[in-house]
Structure 1
Amino acid sequence: MNSFELCVAGLAGMTLSPSIRIESLTTSARYAKGAVVIIDVFRAFTTAAIALSNGAAAIVMVDDVTSALILRERGVGKVCIGERRGLKPTGFEFGNSPHEIRNISFSGDIVIQTTSNGTKGIVAARGASCLYAASFVNAAATVRAIQKSGEQEVWLIAAGDGPVRAEEDEICALYLRALLQGRSPDHDTIRSAVGTLSPRLDGQTLSAEDFAACLEVDATPLAIRVEQTEGLLVARGVRAEGKS
């Protein structure tokens, strides 16, 4: 049994609630409804959570590099963050690295983000009544926000990479489901399971610093709520009080 199967055995245990649905790959987001959570652990929504925690007023999420650069040129946002094939696109201020921006103060700036999978999933989730971007760092905060919203149907979408499932996103989906069902899986067990996965991403080696940053489970109290504003998908950090 591999690490992913062990984590499934440890976290899944119970019968899946009919109100919580786990799906894989960004294409699934097209059919999702209710409260929809797009999960991208390595690294899009870990990076987004840190940017918002470091003072960004909002993040405009788009599905291609050209759109990001055009929006910055028009003054919609000040900073472009993202990747293609794991690398920072030409003209962007930052790559898709939570470690790179850990000590950056965004001081009310609007950030524009595009990634190969995570932000594409956000763009695809047109049927959501409420939409969230999640990773391990804001999992509990996301669950509190969903619970506060009162939504009775929840879709957890593990973003993945094209036709290939991402095990870290699948494990995060299971963790979110466990929290929604009132259970509290051990953080060290989660980190241990994810720690056995390959450190390669999009043909690039994931740095040890980014790997560690992505496994800081429930490190931020901010859920990332995405709403359409003037034709743009705008993500903001929201706090929901209570216990997940």
Structure 2
Amino acid sequence: MHINILHLADGARSAKGTVVIIDVLRAFSTACYAFNKGIEKIIPVGDIDLAYKLKKDNPDYLLIGERNERRPEGFDFGNSPTHINNATITAKTIVQTTSSGTQGIANAINADEIITGSFVNAGAIINYIRKTNPEEVSLVCMGFACQYPTAEDTLCAEYIKNELEGRPSNFPTMVQQIKETDGARFFDPATESWSPESDFHLCMDLNRFDFILKVEKVGDLNYLEKIVV
């Protein structure tokens, strides 16, 4: 098994084999919490106009995501796992668009298969890759708005790679490093309304969920499918 760590949209476009699109803070952590709340299907899209169209055509869908970290106008939720986790949700389908994670899915045009990546289901991702044993694994770190690499996505990729190759990781040290760098914004009171501190802790809850989120394509749309591993 050959494991590559790649970065940003260019990395997604060049990724091959089993491709893990990693967005820890917060898209694919939020997606896991949404499935745990009873959501049955997530439609990840890169184009926000497509997200609005899907919502218009399907008023019962929930529209979640962010631009510049904040909830866009007309969206039901932002990109906060806290807000999803605390909400009463009766809808079964979500349309999700973000500045990083869903852009990675849209750009992974050479992948054999695509799954999402985060710490909250890292163990399930590792188990899935071990079971399927692909020749090539591409761990794509989407970074901040696809603009620059971030500690949380890079360290998540390193954690997955280490586990697959039988090397230890010091997860508490990783969490502290993330908290002191790219995760520091979650501890700023000025961002509490859209990026609460609790988001950081929820996203760092290692192996909370025992499922992966795999991308399936139906027609022109991608869907995230929950698969228990």
TM-score by length of 2: 0.90
Question: Which residue matches 1:224?
Answer: 213
Pair 73,42 (structure 1): closer, same or farther in 2 beyond 3 Å:
same
Deviation of 1:145 after TM superposition, in Å, equals 1.6
After TM superposition, the structure 1 = structure 2 runs for residues 206-221 of structure 1, keeping only pairs within 5 Å, are 206-221=195-210
Aligned residue for 1:92, secondary structure, equals: coil
- Root mean square deviation, CA, Å: 2.0
Distance in structure 1 (CA, Å) of the matches to 2:56 and 2:127: 36
Distance in structure 1 (CA, Å) of the matches to 2:109 and 2:33: 25
Question: Which residue matches 1:196?
Answer: 180
Residue from 101, 104, 118 that aligns with 2:101: 118
Verify the 8 A CA contact 1:145 1:239 in the aligned structure 2.
no
Distance in structure 2 (CA, Å) of the matches to 1:158 and 1:21: 11
Distance in structure 1 (CA, Å) of the matches to 2:26 and 2:33: 11
Deviation of 1:166 after TM superposition, in Å, equals 1.1
Deviation of 1:108 after TM superposition, in Å, equals 6.2
Aligned residue for 2:73, secondary structure, equals: coil
Question: Is the helix fraction higher in 1 or 2?
Answer: 2
Residue from 38, 41, 44 that aligns with 1:55: 38
Aligned residue for 2:99, secondary structure, equals: coil
CA deviation string 1:94-131 (max 9, x = no partner): 00001111133545601100000110001100111110
Matched, 1:163 2:147: yes
Question: Which residue matches 1:24?
Answer: 7
**Which region of structure 1 is more displaced relative to structure 2, 222-231 or 192-201?**
192-201
- Percent identity, please: 36
TM-score by length of 1: 0.85
CA deviation string 1:185-223 (max 9, x = no partner): 24323222222224238xx84421111111111111111
Distance in structure 2 (CA, Å) of the matches to 1:231 and 1:144: 30
Pair 100,239 (structure 1): closer, same or farther in 2 beyond 3 Å:
same
Matched, 1:173 2:157: yes
Aligned residue for 1:156, secondary structure, equals: strand
Verify the 8 A CA contact 2:60 2:91 in the aligned structure 1.
no
Paired residue total: 222
* Structure 2 gap ranges (5+): none
CA deviation string 1:172-191 (max 9, x = no partner): 11011012113342432322
Letter in 2 for 1:146: I
